[in-house]
Structure 1
Amino acid sequence: MRRWPVMVVAVVTLGALSGAVAYQHVVPRQGDHKGAWQEIAWPFPRDGWPAGRAFRCRGASCGDGVEVYVRPKLGFCNCDRGVADDDEVDRVADVDLISQGFVPLAPGEVVQVADMAGRTRAYDLKASDGSRRVATGIAVSRRCDLLVAVAHGNGDAWETRRAALALLANREMTRWMMAAMEGR
């Protein structure tokens, strides 16, 4: 008979704790990020790398419906050279997750994200429905580790790049990227 109240208290406590944990992992609502960025679920199937974070922006601050996908690839970089050329950006930046039909628009450029150096490159994409989209691949490194991001949208490739780099420069994102690069 004395076990019944203890069991009720335990069930209520576990329910409250799981509710608190669920609340902390709720996807932010529109407007919770600077501009109109909203975190969304990672849309790609599992591969050899862990899933990262995905964001969508539908505001005037980011052009025409830009989505950005960011993830670390620990132990996957040339420890001596880092991200040295456009071929490496083409190979590692996850553009192929969006479309296998991607074509570079121009030579890439050197970029700095947080305290990591690397390259960025713009692409023309052929979507599965035949429509045209643009993408920007970003690959930066620290020691022997990569952080990759790919952004895509319907608008201008350079506006898509600007929006993605602005998101990555956000203080919250910088904190997350640095922790992810340390394997936390």
Structure 2
Amino acid sequence: MRRWPIIAAMFLALGCLSAVAGYEMAPSRAAAWREIAWPFPRDGWPAGRAFRCGTAECGTEVEVYLRPKLGFCNCDSGVADDDEVDRVSDVDMISPRFVPLNAGDVVDVADMSGRIRAYDLDGTRTAIGLAASHRCDLMAVAAQGRGDVARVRQAVLTFLQSREMKTWMTAAVEGR
């Protein structure tokens, strides 16, 4: 009779350990994304990193381009308004003709605050521009996809909140 509580406690402990191991070993949110070559010509900033997610994994095909711009941000106010997002987020590299769809929103990624804004590129593609600051440094993010703006935006934000991307963005703006 005294063995049942011990056996039940052991099964409970084993179940908890299995759940923790399953959580730790589960594929990350970034697993659906594949790194691709930086598609843009050289400019005054170093090339960044580019990623693609297919329709099956993200609900729509999306490409994300991100790079740090060290020493580029206003040290006092960070990314202050939508005009700054338009100017620094690199959406103009995707297409020089981008039209904002609405006012941007405040966003936090990788412990950096900034703004995110959606754009129409040519009536068939959506772009997302995001600029986030860390001290005097900036993380510029541009993305493009076909389909619903909300779906593209959510795919981008989910990707940027992945552990791998948070770690890389933090290290990149700190110059490591």
TM-score range, shorter chain: 0.7 to 0.9
CA distance in 1, matches of 2:119, 2:70: 25
Matched, 1:170 2:166: no
Corresponding residue SS for 2:125? strand
Matched, 1:94 2:79: no
Structure 2 segments unaligned to the other structure (5+ residues): 1-26
TM-score scaled by length of structure 2: 0.81
CA displacement at 1:35 relative to structure 2: 4.6
What is the 5 A alignment of 1:133-152?
133-152=125-144
Matched, 1:105 2:101: yes
CA displacement at 1:182 relative to structure 2: 1.2
How many residue pairs end up in the alignment? 150
Which residue matches 1:12?
none
One-letter amino acid of the counterpart of residue 102, structure 2: A
Matched, 1:117 2:118: no
Q: Deviations over 1:154-184 (max 9, x none)?
A: 1111211111111111111111111111112
Which residue matches 2:10?
none
Q: Which has the higher helix share?
A: 2
TM-score scaled by length of structure 1: 0.78
Structure 1 segments unaligned to the other structure (5+ residues): 1-30
CA RMSD of aligned residues (A): 1.6
Which residue matches 1:6?
none
Structure with bigger RCO (C-alpha 8 Å, 6+ apart)? 2
Which residue matches 1:41?
37
What is the 5 A alignment of 1:6-25?
none
One-letter amino acid of the counterpart of residue 49, structure 2: R
CA distance in 2, matches of 1:59, 1:35: 14
Tell me if the contact between 2:29 and 2:158 (Cα under 8 Å) persists in the aligned partners: no
Which residue matches 1:72?
68
CA distance in 2, matches of 1:32, 1:161: 19
Instruction: Tell me the percent identity.
Output: 66
Tell me if the contact between 1:36 and 1:59 (Cα under 8 Å) persists in the aligned partners: no
CA distance in 1, matches of 2:29, 2:115: 25
